[in-house]
Amino acid sequence: MKMLNDKRWRETKAVVWQRAKGLCEWCIRDGIAAGVPGGWIRAGVDCHHLVPFESGKTAAEMERLCYDPNNCVLLCVEHHRAEHNQAGYHKKEAVKARREQAFERWKAKRRASNPPPTDFSSGGL
């Protein structure tokens, strides 16, 4: 995905990492930092979107969701995996729905960039 490979995404991740001080925000949230027996504060390694940016209905909304540091949390591998499993992100129905949404966005973008001809004076059709 282009948005996750550009300078703005790197800048957003840097803000999230700095806010979290490199620690998993959910380890801290869940009380592991408060001394839960056997608990550890794990290093944050993945910047996770709370609201998936792919859920945006327009390119502008997708960009807003993607680059908003308040829509992101820094997670350890365990919490990131758990979040995706809980959300059903990798289930067949979810993957199919995301593909259909991406196709609809592609078609809308293509229609916007290639409008049908409006001059029929040449006698075509």
- Give the CA distances from residue 50 to residues 36, 66, 67, 74, 116, in Å, rounded to whole numbers and listed in that order: 25, 10, 12, 10, 38
What SS3 class is residue 32? helix
pLDDT > 90: percent of the chain:
35
Which pLDDT does position 116 carry in this prediction? 64
Which pLDDT does position 67 carry in this prediction? 94
Q: Is residue 117 part of a domain?
A: no
- Which of 11, 9, 10, 47 is CA-nearest to residue 26? 47
What SS3 class is residue 5? helix
Residue 48 has pLDDT above 90, yes or no: yes
Average pLDDT over residues 53-68: 88
- Locate all alpha helices (DSSP H) within the chain, ordered by sequence: 7-20, 25-29, 59-67, 77-87, 92-113
Q: Is residue 47 part of a domain?
A: yes
Is the pTM higher than 0.75? The answer reads: no
99 or 25, which is more confident?
A: 25
pLDDT per position as a tens digit, 100-116: 777 776 777 777 777 66
Q: How many domains does the chain have?
A: 1
Range of the domain at 61: 2-111
